Structure 1
Amino acid sequence: MKIPMEMPMPTSEPLFRKDAYARMTEAEVLAHTERGGIILNRTLFYATGGGQPGDSGQLLWGDGQCTIATTVKGENGAVVLVPHEGETLPPAGTPVTQVLDWDRRYGHMRVHTALHLLSVVIPLEVTGGSVSAEKGRLDFNMPEAPEDKQALQDQLQALIDRDLEVTEDWISDEELEANPQLVKTMSVSPPRGAGQVRLVRIGTADEQIDLQPCGGTHVRRTGEIGKIRLGKVEKKGQQNRRVYLHLEP
């Protein structure tokens, strides 16, 4: 069924939040959007948000299959899988197998976690950011460029090589309001209104390296990031500098 504009959009159980390493699982098609998107009752696919791209992959059913180009957020928290143009869609009610483009997602997880650590070695306000499978960038409120980029890269690599644990915690909206210093990114406001906000912690509670609100997917330990390289630093306005980070092969 397609969802008429006046009907509320169904929601999907976000399996990617329970296990970011899950690559394949079963689900059922709940509905199609007016634009041909697919809503499942449970999804491994992360929807574009917080600078991280939506996941891609495949849906398989019976004798059919379709390729998912990206994943976006719909109304009321729905996760919408967007097929490539011209793909055949599984009808509502069809049991399907979700197959994630794992190499691309795992790249996102490694880069996203590395960017959290970049905000540790450059302890300035973050004004923007972007993640891809091989590189990412953060924009900082940084009037002057870093004097020693190699020293920053060495500090970042040292944190990565400590193989720090990456875990999540949850706090209430009220606790976040009482601790505004947790929010590093000025351009992206953490999602509020659901009663709880997800925090991503790097390190342990006793030896914490970083703690900030984030809905994205991350590796379990920083050692999985591997070797990184800091790329060019671009001037973006009078007060901003854009710092690029690359995963090394």
Structure 2
Amino acid sequence: MAKVESVFQSFLEVNAVWRTHRVCDPSFSRMIRLEPCPTGEGVFMGKSTDPPYFYVYQCFFRDLGVRLPFTPFECDFLNYVNAAPSQIHPNSWGFLRAFQVLCTVLGIEVSLRVFLHFYQLKLGAPPYGVLSLNEGKDGGLFTLYSQSYKNYRQEFFRVAMVGVDPLEDGGFYFGGLPRFPFYWCPDPSGFNGVDPSRLTAPEVAAIENLKALPRPLDCKLILSLQCLVHKERGLESECLVFQ
């Protein structure tokens, strides 16, 4: 991990990502800047700077439909496991995204505790191991997005928050504090399901409804519904956004 360097080493290359992928909500386009990572820089090397930044992988936007700022559910998950976005394996990001799409389509509230019920977190070898979601005792919800995510670790770049006031912004900050860990966390928090006593009655009902589905559901197929839902509404140019 320490020897992996980014293929995005110039602004020309990261600007191509900006042009070809839906990186952020249009209202946030002036608040962030994509930045290259020079030789010797790794995703675990971030530290507090001005402007602050965090690392992301190209596949977040190319494959999985991630769109900045992260949704409240995604921020809650990153805080729960105490990890920066780049510490989570892309297939696990696929689970996070597919869960939000599925709940939206089924009319189920997007609940972190409901999601946690179906998964456990596998911690990679310290200090730079990637975190992966595995199915819990009741089984997971989705297939892997990709059986082999080759070269994704080389396809990272910075997202710098250049026009963000921590006291006023609600996308990346809340009450002046980051809404999720910006930089690599050396001590992530594992989990194995969720304590049933913490579940509300609607969450228990949601879990039972999801358990009744023919699992595992095809992750790519579920993610494709992000656009199909909007096409049915006559909004072909837009994709389903979770805010």
TM-score range, shorter chain: under 0.3
Which one has the bigger helix percentage?
Answer: 2
Normalized per residue, the structure richer in strand is: 1
The higher radius of gyration belongs to 1
Q: Which has the higher contact order (CA 8 A, sep 6+)?
A: 2
TM-score with structure 1 length normalisation? 0.24
